[in-house]
Amino acid sequence: MQSLAHSRSALGAFFRRMQARLGTPKALTAAAHTLACLIYRLLTFGTEYVDRGEEYDQERSRSRLVASLTRRAHALGYTLLETADLAQASTESQRRRREEVTWKAQS
């Protein structure tokens, strides 16, 4: 399971997210449980495992976070507006930042 910390798979991204939130011991248990469920489904239904990758998992996690923040802001009487940074960038990290969406609270 320690190699999951460096894996570029969806399961690796899951492990790192759980590790940051719960700590390493509980993250190992959560990843082992996820892996056991995955193997059970593969053996029971005879399907093939298709790893969607780290980016898919991160995007899915991000969309859940945005939905949660939107609901919380609405409950507090705020509205979230999507904005995009359109500045030109030369390095890869700056290009990634430009493509990321930032959220601002509007009352």
Each residue's pLDDT tens digit, 55-79:
888 888 889 999 999 999 999 998 8
Q: What's the confidence (pLDDT) of residue 68?
A: 94
| Residue 93 covered by a domain | yes
Domain interval for residue 23: 1-66
| Domain shared by 24 and 51, yes or no | yes
Distance from C-alpha of 95 to C-alpha of 100, rounded to nearest angstrom: 9
| Domain shared by 96 and 61, yes or no | no
- Split into its structural domains, the chain has a count of 2
| Domain shared by 12 and 32, yes or no | yes
* pTM, rounded to two decimals: 0.61
| Domain shared by 11 and 47, yes or no | yes
| Domain shared by 39 and 89, yes or no | no
Q: Give CA torsion, residues 78, 80, 81, 84, to 10 deg.
A: 140
Distance from C-alpha of 14 to C-alpha of 65, rounded to nearest angstrom: 14
| Domain shared by 5 and 35, yes or no | yes
| Domain shared by 53 and 2, yes or no | yes
| Residue 72 covered by a domain | no
Each residue's pLDDT tens digit, 33-48:
999 999 999 999 988 8
| Domain shared by 1 and 22, yes or no | yes
Could you tell me the pLDDT band of residue 18, with boundaries at 50, 70 and 90? Answer: very high
Distance from C-alpha of 7 to C-alpha of 15, rounded to nearest angstrom: 9
- Tell me the average pLDDT of the chain: 80
Q: What's the confidence (pLDDT) of residue 85?
A: 52
